[in-house]
Structure 1
Amino acid sequence: MATLYEIIAELRQAHRGPAATKTLDLAMSALGESNDNLRLALSRIDTNSLPTGGGPILEELAQRADAEGVADQLAPTSLDEERRSREGVDGSMLGIAALLGLSALIPLLLVAVVIVHAIRG
C-alpha cells in the first residue's frame, strides 16, 4: 500500500512540467493545512488558482489515493477532541518544572553576585 506522499512523488515523476509542479505544490500545501486529509485538502484548493491542466492531475491524485485507501487517512481533530486527549498535570511534572526553574535561577544569581562584587571592587 502506497502512502499519500508516495503517490504524489510518483505523480511528480509521471507529470513533469511547471503546471504539474505548481498543482502538486498546491496539493502539498493544502495537505499541511488539513492534517493530511486529502479530501479536505482538495476541497480547500481554489480551482481558479490551478494552472492549465492541473485539474486532471488532482483528479488522478484523488483516484489513486482512493484506490490505495489513503484519501481519508487522518481526519482533523476538533479543539474539543484535542482538549479531552491532553494528559493532566500531576505532582511529578510540577516537581520537575520547579527543579528546572531553580536550576535556571542559579546561574542568574551567580552572575548577579559577580556583578555586585565587581562594582564594589
Structure 2
Amino acid sequence: MKRNKIIYWIATVWLAVGLLSTAIIQIFKIQTEGAGGVQNIAHLGYPNYILPLLGIWKLLAVVALLWPKKPLWKEWAYAGIFFTVTGALYSHIVSGDSFSFMAPALLYIVLIAASWYFRPADRKFSLR
C-alpha cells in the first residue's frame, strides 16, 4: 500500500506542476513554443482568447487535486484534464504534427491515469 501512495503522490505532484506551469503560460499568454503556448494554440487553429479560460480551468483542477478530501471535485478535475489533454492530442494528430508535439499530451495522459488509479481511498468518490 505504501508503494501505491508513493506512486500516487509522484504522479499527482508531477501532474499538478505541469498543469500549473501551462496555466501560467496560458493565463498570461506568454510567448513560448512549448505545450499550451500562444504559438502552439495558433498552430492548431485555435483563437488566443481560449488561453485564459484553459489556464483558469487548469488552476482549478490543481486546487481540486491537491485539496484534502472533496473526492467529487477530484473526479471532475480528472475528467476535465483528460478531456482537455485528449483534445490537444487529437488536434496534434489531425494537424500532422510530429511525435515531439504529441509527447507532452501523452505524458499528461500517463500521469492522469497513474494519479487516478493509485489515489487513496479517501480521495475516491463514492455514492455510498
Question: For the superposition of Structure 1 and Structure 2, which TM-score range results when normalised by the shorter chain?
Answer: 0.3 to 0.5
Greater relative contact order, per chain length (Cα 8 Å cut-off, separation 6+): 2
TM-score normalized by the length of structure 2: 0.32
Choose 1 or 2 for highest CA Rg: 1
